[in-house]
Amino acid sequence: MFAYIRRRALSALIILLVASVLIFGILRLAPGDPAVAIAGPDATAPVIKAIRQSLGLDQNLAVQYWTWLSGLFTGNLHHSYVFGSSVAALLGQALSNTLELALGALICAVVIAVAIGVPAGVSRRPGSARTANLIDSVLYAVPPYVTGVLFVLVFSVALHLFPASGSGPGPWKSSASLHALILPAVCLSLPTAAIVGRFLGSSLRKTSEADFVRTARAKGISEARLVWRHILPNSLPPVLTILGLQIGQLLSGAIIVETVFAWPGLGQLLVNSVTESDYLTTQDILMFAVLVFVIIQLLTDIVNNVFDANRGKRNL
C-alpha cells in the first residue's frame, strides 16, 4: 500500500516538475516582452528596463525559474501590472470564488445524480433505465456554455428568478450571494451529475441482485427502507471514486461557466490574463490549475487502490 502511494506520489511530482518547466518555457517562447507590453507604446528604454528589473526578467532563465517555483510555494508571487494587484491576492480571491462554485456544483451534482440514478437503479419497470440513459446522455453531452445561456434565457431574462451574472458580495455571507450561486452551480454540475448518476444506477442494479437484498425482502422490509438503508449505502463506494475523478472536470468546466455568468473565479482570471497577454499571471494560474488536477487524480488513484485492496481481502 505505502509502496504504491510512494510510487504514485513520485510520478505525480515528476509530472508537476515537467509541467512547470513546460509552462515556464512555453510562456518565455511567447512573442512579445511582457515589460514592453506593460510599459505601453510610448515608454522610454530606461522605463522598460526598470520594469524588467522589477519583474526579475533581467536575470538568467534558471534564476527566474527558481524564483518563480519557490514563490509558488511561499506565496511570494510577483505584482501584476495588468490587474494592478499582487498575483497572490488575485489568486486567493479567485480561488475562493471558484471553490464556492465548485462546492455548490458538487452538491447539486450529488442531488441530481441521486434523482436520476436511484429510480433507474431500483425501478423494475423496463422503460426506466432507458429513460434515465437518455437523460444522462443529453446532460452529459450538452456543453455548459449552452446550458448556461439557456438558464440565463429562461430563469433570468424570461422568469426573472435569478441574477444573470456576478458573484454576490462576500461568499457565504448573504442570501444574495447564495442566490447568485444557484444558476452557475447547477449549470456546472450537469455533466458530472450525468456520469455519477449513470454509475449510481448501474451500481444499484448490481447491489439489488445481491443475496442480502433477497433476504431483506423475504423478511418483509418496506421497499423504501430497503433502498435507502440497505441498497444505496452498499452501492456507494465505486460511485464515490467516480465523483472524486469528476472534481478535476468540474474545475475545467468552471473556466466556461465562469465566463458565461461573469463569476470572478480562477477560470475567468485565467481567460482574462491570456486575453490581456499577462504572461506572468498566466503562468501562475496554469501551474496552479495543473497542480490541483494532478493532486486530485493522485488522491483518487490512492482511494481507488485502497478500495481495491479491501475488496480483495473481503473476497478471500
Partner 1 sequence: MKNVADTAIVVSDVDEPASRAVTPSGRLLRGFRRPEAMTGSIVILFFVLVVLTGPLFLHYSPEAQSAASLAPPGARHFLGTDELGRDLLSRVIYGIRVDLIVGLIAVPVGGVIGIAIGLFTSTNSVADTVVQRSFDIVLAFTGMVLGLTIAALIGGGLFTVLLTVAIVNVPLFGRLVRTTVRTEMGKDYVTAARAIALPTRTILSRHILPNAIDPLLVQAGLSLSNAVFLEGAMSFIGLGVKPPDPSLGSVLRDSINFMTVSPLYAIAPMVVISLLVVAFNLISDGLNKTLLNA
User: Is 137 among the residues that bind partner 1 (CB under 8 A)?
Assistant: yes
Site for partner 1 in 66-105 (CB under 8 A): none
- Residue 198 lies near partner 1 (rule: CB under 8 A): yes
Question: By C-alpha distance, which of 47, 29, 23 is closest to 37?
Answer: 47
Query: H or E stretch including 86?
Result: strand 85-86
CB of 267 to partner 1, least distance (A): 8
Q: Is 80 helix (H, G, I), strand (E, B) or coil?
A: strand
Q: Using CB under 8 A as the criterion, what x/- string covers residues 15-44 for binding partner 1?
A: x--xx--xx--xx-xx--------------
CB of 311 to partner 1, least distance (A): 16
289 binding partner 1? (CB under 8 A): yes
| Least Cβ distance, residue 15 to partner 1 (angstroms) | 5
Q: Which residues have C-beta within 8 Å of that of residue 297, sequence separation ≥ 6?
A: 12, 245, 248
| Residue choice 243, 279, 300, 301 for contact with partner 1 (CB under 8 A) | 279
Which of 61, 150, 176, 309: binder of partner 1 (CB under 8 A)? 150
Single residue of 110, 195, 213, 227 touching partner 1 by CB under 8 A: 195
The single residue among 160, 275, 312, 314 that binds partner 1, judged by CB under 8 A, is 275
Residue 191 · residue 171 · CB < 8 Å: no
CA distance 20 to 167: 31
Closest contact distance (angstroms) between CB of 186 and partner 1 is 17
Count the site residues for partner 1 by CB under 8 A.
49
Phi, psi for 309 (deg, rounded to 5): -60, -45
- Shortest Cβ distance from residue 150 to partner 1 (Å)? 6
- Residue with cell string 433507474: 120
Residues between 203 and 232 that touch partner 1 (CB under 8 A): none
In this structure, are residues 168 and 174 in contact, taking their beta carbons and an 8 Å threshold? yes
Nearer to partner 1, 226 or 289 (CB): 289
145 binds partner 1 (CB under 8 A): yes
Which of 139, 137, 113 minimizes the C-alpha distance to 238? Answer: 113
Q: Is the dihedral of CA 82, 83, 85, 89 positive or negative?
A: negative
271 binds partner 1 (CB under 8 A): yes
C-alpha cell at 82: 495588468
Cα separation of 5 and 306, whole Å?
A: 10
Examine residue 252 and tell whether it contacts partner 1 (CB under 8 A).
yes
Residue 240 engages partner 1 in binding (rule: CB under 8 A): no
DSSP 82: T
Considering the complex, state which of residue 138 and residue 176 has its C-beta at the smaller distance from partner 1. Answer: 138
Helix residue ranges per DSSP H, the chain: 2-29, 34-39, 45-55, 61-74, 87-122, 126-141, 144-151, 175-208, 211-218, 223-225, 232-260, 266-275, 279-315
Which one of 56-64, 143-151, 219-227, 301-309 is the stretch in contact with partner 1 (CB under 8 A)?
143-151
Q: Near partner 1 by CB under 8 A, which window of 40-48, 74-82, 181-189, 270-278?
A: 270-278
CA distance 122 to 149: 34
- Which spans of this chain sit near partner 1 (rule: CB under 8 A)? 11, 14-15, 18-19, 22-23, 26-27, 29-30, 137-138, 140-143, 145-146, 149-150, 152-153, 157, 195, 198-199, 202, 248-249, 252-253, 255-256, 259-260, 270-271, 274-275, 277, 279, 282, 286, 289-290, 293-294, 297
